[in-house]
Structure 1
Amino acid sequence: MTVSLTKGQKVSLSKDGTSLTRIFMGLGWDVAKKGGLLGGLFGGNEDIDLDASCLVFDETGKQVDEIWFRQLKGMSGAIVHTGDNLTGAGDGDDETIKVDLSKLPATVKSLVFTVNSFRGQSFDKVANAYCRVVDEVSGKELAKFALGEAGSHTGLVMAKIYRHNEEWKIHAIGEKTTGRTFHDMMPTIQSAL
């Protein structure tokens, strides 16, 4: 059963006493439809380029790696971004970041997942945005977080996956911020650690 997360909620990703080895974070979104008949006929909907990123931190809070559309692999191949979707077109996950938890060094404490609007379009233009964590081995969706808050922000610190007592947990953060890349969002990301 999928856990539907709300902002601020924390849950364990280890189910039934088994530890996870491989997961992926999927990000999906659609372009918000403009109202009215004329809105759809005359330049109604434009492509939205959202970008998913994964930032890796050690136990001291120091960033040790970054995985995003300009660096698709990190942590010696333990984290892989499957590619940049420039439009949000299509069903299902638009961008995916795969993580082999078993290959992460013991010094890795947390992974922070962000999403930002590369072209600077606000989330008012985005519909049906979500992120989800899936056990890649079983295909089972473990947690889903709807990013439904429209607004003038251009970035979100979505979620943090972190180690606690030798167990991986997820914290749904959902913190609105601004930035065309995660670099612009670092103060908010640091406060989420």
Structure 2
Amino acid sequence: MTVNLAKGQQISLSKSDGGTLDVVRMGLGWQSAPRKGFLARLTAREIDLDASALLFADRQLVDVVFFQNLTSGDGSVHHTGDNLVGGSGQGGDDESILVDLPRVPAHVDQIVFTVNSFTGQTFAEVQNAFCRLVDETNGQELARHTLSGGGNHTAQIMAKVHRTAQGWQMAAIGVPATGRTFQDLMPTITAHL
């Protein structure tokens, strides 16, 4: 059963049978918003959204997984590859990041997931954008956060998974930001650690 997360909402990543999740997939999907008018359709560009996972230890960035660095140094986080045009929207994932939770080093206490428009288009030009967390062992969608469309921002801090005394939890952040790369988003990200 999927939980639709609202901004700021958290869920535990423990299985309903009391076990813990091993491998989760953060999926990102989007579509270009339809253009109105003949000239608008002729000049429309594909939208290249990029998913990134930033690994933090005690509020310090220790590793980043994104389209130019597909696997974390320890191998626990893996990006499946860059999608330059999107198109899945409410269907499947356009980009995915796999996290092998038991392999995440003990000092890493938070993994923040971001999305940014590398080509610089704003979210006003995107529709049906979402991020979701899936139990990779059985394909069950655990949580979904709709990236509310519109706005002049070019990025969003989507969600984070973080360690607690009870295990890993996911928190929907859903905060708009401006920037073409994860480096541009660091001031916004640090406010949510």
> Counterpart amino acid of 2:42?
G
Query: Within the alignment, does 1:88 sit opposite 2:89 as a pair?
Result: no
Partner of 2:143: 143
Partner of 1:176: 176
Q: Is the 8 A contact 2:127 2:149 kept in 1?
A: no
2:42 match: secondary structure: coil
**More moved, 93-102 vs 27-36:** 27-36
Change (3 A) 1:39 1:12: farther
Query: TM-score, normalised to structure 2's length?
Result: 0.94
**More moved, 152-161 vs 70-79:** 70-79
Number of matched residues? 190
Query: Within the alignment, does 1:51 sit opposite 2:65 as a pair?
Result: no
Partner of 1:29: 30
Q: Is the 8 A contact 2:122 2:154 kept in 1?
A: yes
Partner of 2:153: 153
For structure 2, the residue ranges without an aligned partner over 5 or more in a row are none
Query: Within the alignment, does 1:20 sit opposite 2:18 as a pair?
Result: no
Q: Tell me the alpha carbon deviations over residues 104-148 of structure 1, each in whole angstroms, 9 at most, x when there is no partner.
A: 111110000000000111000000000000000011000000002
For structure 1, the residue ranges without an aligned partner over 5 or more in a row are none
Q: Tell me the alpha carbon deviations over residues 39-89 of structure 1, each in whole angstroms, 9 at most, x when there is no partner.
A: 67x41642000000000011x211110000110000421110000000113
> Counterpart amino acid of 1:78?
S
Q: Is the 8 A contact 2:159 2:170 kept in 1?
A: yes
> Counterpart amino acid of 1:127?
Q
Q: Distance in 1 between matches of 2:148 and 2:44?
A: 18
> Which consecutive aligned stretches of 4+ in structure 1 deviate over 3 angstroms post-superposition?
none
Partner of 2:134: 134
Q: CA RMSD in A?
A: 1.4
Query: TM-score, normalised to structure 1's length?
Result: 0.94
Q: Is the 8 A contact 2:74 2:105 kept in 1?
A: no
Q: Distance in 2 between matches of 1:131 and 1:27?
A: 5
